[in-house]
Amino acid sequence: MRWAHGRVAADHHSERRADDAWNLSEVAKVSCALASAAGFAAFPGCETANYKELLDMLPELERAKFHPDAETLRGELARSIHAIESV
């Protein structure tokens, strides 16, 4: 199990290949890219992918759970972060 977490940590900023099966590592890649595209990059100057293109990578069921535009997601995430940090 420790190896699996190490692989996810080492690989989560890599691009997802369309032919890869969905596993923890692939979910982490797209999740990290979605966070960056929504304005929550891991570091300043981090390259971001197109939000709509990232959504299109997700299976339909999961894609439907996201806001169709990055600005709405960014606002909701910012409000949630603020609520947590203000406690």
Domain boundaries, the chain: 2-85
End-to-end CA distance of the chain: 34
pLDDT at position 51, please?
A: 93
Cα pseudo-dihedral 33, 16, 14, 45, rounded to 10: -30
pLDDT, one tens digit for every residue, the chain (87 residues) = 455 667 766 666 667 666 767 777 788 888 888 888 998 888 888 878 899 999 998 888 888 998 889 999 999 999 999 999 998
